[in-house]
Amino acid sequence: MRHVPAAMEYSVRAEALAAKHGHPLYLAIALRARGVAESLRGAHDQAEGLLRRSLEQFTALGTHWQAGRTWSELGHMEAGRGRLEEAADCFREALALFEAMGARLDADKTLQAIEALR
């Protein structure tokens, strides 16, 4: 957990730079990173909002792999909250994206995450 403050600091910096330079992909990546940092520190409501904003950006950009990774992070966050049905739904969204693009390793890891919920 000692890395959480650093993750928060650098994700906030990255978000500010991406916004300043009008780079939507890096902004979405920074939002996801900050969402993960918030989740790790237990601020799940904030984390969810950041991850969903990130997901909206990735979806708008058509970056399916990035969207899949974000769905996966949402799944891990929900599992950590004990919300297993919601976690499974998020992982299934990620799986659909990974399978559609043939990202086999990511699909396999997502299937393992789904199995671990049982």
Tokens 């949402």 locate to: 74
Assign residue 20 the CATH number of its domain.
1.25.40.10
Query: What's the chain's length in residues?
Result: 118
Virtual torsion, Cα 80, 86, 92, 97, nearest 10 deg: -80
Task: Give pLDDT < 70 ranges for the chain.
Answer: 1-4
The parent domain of residue 97 ranges over 4-116
Question: What does the pLDDT read at residue 1?
Answer: 54
Count structural domains, the chain: 1
**pTM for the model:** 0.91
CA–CA distance, 48 with 90 (Å, rounded to integer): 12
